[in-house]
Amino acid sequence: MADVLETKVAEPKEPVLAFGKKEKKLLTDPLSENNPITVQVLGICSALAVTSLVLPSFVISIAVIFVCAFSNLFTSLLRHYIPNQVRMIVQLVIIATLVSVVDYVLKAFSYEVWKQLSVFIGLIVTNCIIMGRLEAFALANKPWKSFLDGVGNGLGYGLILIGVAVIRELFGKGTLFAGSPIEMSIIGPSASYWINTAAESGIGTWFSWYANNNLFVLPPAAMFIIAIFIWIHRTWRPHLVDVS
């Protein structure tokens, strides 16, 4: 008897902000199984453009997580009211508004980073990941889930972006996080680097042949690196080969 009663009471409505298995999957799926860059192959353009240094990649990732999460949230809240004929334009208005907010806030609170990113902030509007998630997810799901989906996809995008940027900055400039308070000089021809390739003694002598590779600084390098990421990812997860 007691069992029957309990199931009846527990059944009806799940709380609005539940965080169960399904919700966790929304966050973790885009990191690997449904990664926006390596599996859905979206947002490649910005991944090529901003990844020459880690710091701007990091800031762009944060901005994309913010824009993706909140545009998903707002689109989902409005999903029953958005007229189907103009839904894409409505989505664009929502995305563009959020991007403008990011732009104003960065300009007011972190002017130097804003200066460095300049045009790329505006280009978040055209980031296919965001519009893709609105179309594919937010229009058909509840706000909380859509929000989590946005965060997850932003994270998945950021993960790849920072991975690419670390490789490009390290081999292109010999530094990591250049321009930020935690700037690290890893390898280069002076004593300010951890591995000093011009040194007379110590570990640096093993790397005396080393020179920064300017190719890594240029956008084509990101294309090779992303392609290699996709290759590795699909070797590790063969069932993704025919997904996209």
Task: Count residues binding other proteins (CB under 8 A).
Answer: 34
Please tell me whether residue 217 binds other proteins under the rule CB under 8 A: yes
Contact code string over 123-152 relative to other proteins, x by CB under 8 A:
------------------------------
Residues 44-63 binding other proteins (CB under 8 A) are 52-53
- Choose the binding region for other proteins from 22-30, 93-101, 156-164, 201-209 (rule: CB under 8 A): 93-101
Instruction: Calculate ∠ Cα 154-29-159, nearest 5°.
Output: 40
Query: Exactly one of 14, 140, 208, 214 binds other proteins (CB under 8 A); which one?
Result: 214
Of positions 12, 15, 83, 202, contacts other proteins by CB under 8 A: 83
Q: Of 12, 11, 26, 20, give the one whose Cα is nearest residue 141.
A: 26
β-bridge partners, 13: none
224 binds other proteins (CB under 8 A): no
102-136 in b/e burial notation, b at 16+ Cβ within 10 A? bbeebeeeeeebbeebeebbebbbebebbbbbbee
> Which region, judged by CB under 8 A, interacts with other proteins, from 10-18, 38-46, 91-99, 144-152?
91-99
| Residue nearer to other proteins on the CB measure, 101 or 186 | 101
Q: Cα torsion at 226, 231, 233, 235 (round to 10°)?
A: -170
Return the structure tokens found at 59.
Answer: 């800031």
For other proteins, the binding residue among 166, 199, 218, 223 (CB under 8 A) is 218
Tally the C-alpha atoms within 13 A of residue 162's C-alpha that lie toward its C-beta.
Answer: 16
For other proteins, which residue of 17, 22, 45, 118 counts as binding (CB under 8 A)? 118
- Distant-in-sequence, close-in-space partners of 211: CB < 8 Å, separation ≥ 6: 197
Q: Of the two residues 42 and 99, which places its CB atom closer to other proteins in the complex? A: 99
From the list 28, 29, 32, 107, which residue makes contact with other proteins (rule: CB under 8 A)? 107
Quick check: 232 binds other proteins (CB under 8 A)? no
182 sits near other proteins (criterion: CB under 8 A): no
For residue 98, give every residue at least 6 positions away whose Cβ sits within 8 Å of its Cβ, in sequence order, or none. Answer: 66, 67, 70, 71
173 makes contact with other proteins (CB under 8 A): yes
Element (H, E) at 63: helix 54-77
- Taking the complex as a whole, the smallest distance from the CB of residue 42 to other proteins amounts, in Å, to 24
Is residue 51 within 8 Å of residue 165, measured between CB atoms?
yes
Residues that bind other proteins (CB under 8 A): 52-53, 81-86, 89-90, 93-94, 97, 100-101, 104-105, 107-109, 111-112, 115, 118-119, 172-173, 178-179, 212, 214, 216-218
